[in-house]
Each structure stands twice: as C-alpha cells, then as structure tokens.
C-alpha cells in the first residue's frame, strides 16, 4: 500500500493534505518495520 497516495492527482488543497498524510503514515509504518532490523 505504500506509495499509493503518490499516484493520486489531488485537485483541492484538502485532498493534497490528505494524500500527504497518507504518504507520511506509509513512511512511518515502513520505517517502524525496517528500523528494528537495523538495531
């Protein structure tokens, strides 16, 4: 699911903010999975 929001062509600032929030959530989710394996 990560990166799905990047393909969304948001028309309104609200939609853009929502897409950005989804991207950040995907990033944090992935980061939390990868980081423990590096420690």
Task: Say if 32 falls within a structural domain.
Answer: no
The whole-number pLDDT of residue 17 equals 85
Domain count of the fold of the chain: 1
Task: Say if 20 falls within a structural domain.
Answer: yes
Task: Say if 38 falls within a structural domain.
Answer: no
pLDDT in 10s for each residue of the chain, 39 residues: 455 555 555 568 888 888 888 888 888 888 888 777 776
Task: Say if 36 falls within a structural domain.
Answer: no
DSSP class per residue in 8-36 = ----SHHHHHHHHHHHHHHHHHHHHHHHH
The whole-number pLDDT of residue 1 equals 47
Strands (E), the chain: none
Task: Say if 37 falls within a structural domain.
Answer: no
Q: How far apart are CA 23 and CA 36, in angstroms?
A: 21
Q: Domain of 13?
A: 1-25
Question: Would the pTM count as exceeding 0.85?
Answer: no
Task: Say if 30 falls within a structural domain.
Answer: no
């Amino acid at each position: 699911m990560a990166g799905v929001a990047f393909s969304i062509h948001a028309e309104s600032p609200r939609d853009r903010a929502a897409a950005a929030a989804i991207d950040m959530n995907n990033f944090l989710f992935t980061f939390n999975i990868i980081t423990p394996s590096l420690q």
